[in-house]
Amino acid sequence: MERRRFGRTGWEVPVVSLGTWQTFDVGRAQEPGAREVVDAVWDGGTRFFDSSPMFGRAEGVLGRALGGHRADATVATKIWTSSLTEARSQFEAQLGFFGGRIDLEQVHNLVGWREHLDWIWSTSVSTWQSPRRPTSPTPATTSRPGSRHGHRRPSGTGCATESATATDGPR
């Protein structure tokens, strides 16, 4: 699998990732199929996975489907709300889904991006050992709707996002 540099993060990520919208929004009875999908893309060299609270049950299903692969997977997900209270709930749930580690947290609602970044950084610095704290969206860490600047999103979700690279990097 070809790999490319991911902005200024220092990461090398596969050019193909797995987005989880629709495919992973399934009930418990269909979860073995999600595990089969993860195993198939893993065998093909994909190590980058994208999810979101917008995708229904997909975050929890992905977390369970990754199983023993989680340590070597890069997981991107999103905060999808303008409410700080709901954002904190989403974040806590994501930590639970993904083994206490989120590699790329994207602030997907532009209404409260500044407040979201402020609380993420103030409560997560010990968990996320990032080389620098973004103070505003920059071309190296963001992709604005309609923009040709910023990172190329490796997932196939087609969502334009404001994202912050607050991470301890892929394992």
Contact between 13 and 171 (Cβ < 8 Å): no
- Domain-located, residue 66: yes
- Domain-located, residue 169: no
- Domain-located, residue 73: yes
Q: What is the pLDDT of residues 6-20, one digit of tens each?
A: 988 889 999 999 999
- For residue 77, pLDDT over 80 is answered with yes
- Which residue from 75, 86, 69 is spatially nearest to 35, judged by alpha carbons? 69
State the Cα torsion 99-141-115-122 to the nearest 10°: 50
pLDDT of residue 73: 96
What is the rounded CA–CA span in Å between residue 47 and residue 74?
A: 6
Instruction: With cut-offs at 50, 70 and 90, classify the pLDDT of residue 116.
Output: confident
- Which residue from 150, 138, 149, 144 is spatially nearest to 162, judged by alpha carbons? 144
11 lies in which domain range?
3-164
Instruction: With cut-offs at 50, 70 and 90, classify the pLDDT of residue 133.
Output: very low
- Domain-located, residue 25: yes
Mean pLDDT of 118-147: 46
Instruction: With cut-offs at 50, 70 and 90, classify the pLDDT of residue 124.
Output: low
* Segment (H or E) for 121: helix 113-124
How many structural domains comprise the chain?
1
What is the rounded CA–CA span in Å between residue 144 and residue 124?
A: 24
Q: What is the pLDDT of residues 145-167, one digit of tens each?
A: 332 223 333 333 333 233 333 33
Instruction: With cut-offs at 50, 70 and 90, classify the pLDDT of residue 126.
Output: very low
Of 29-38, 79-88, 116-125, the least confident: 116-125
- Domain-located, residue 170: no
CATH number, domain of 90, equals 3.20.20.100
What is the pLDDT of the chain when averaged over all its residues? 76
- Which residue from 141, 135, 99, 138 is spatially nearest to 120, judged by alpha carbons? 135
User: Model's pTM, two decimal places?
Assistant: 0.71
Mean pLDDT of 67-76: 95
Mean pLDDT of 136-140: 36
φ, ψ (nearest 5 deg) of residue 72: -105, 5
Angle ∠(56,9,152) on CA atoms, nearest 5: 60
- For residue 114, pLDDT over 60 is answered with yes
- Domain-located, residue 157: yes
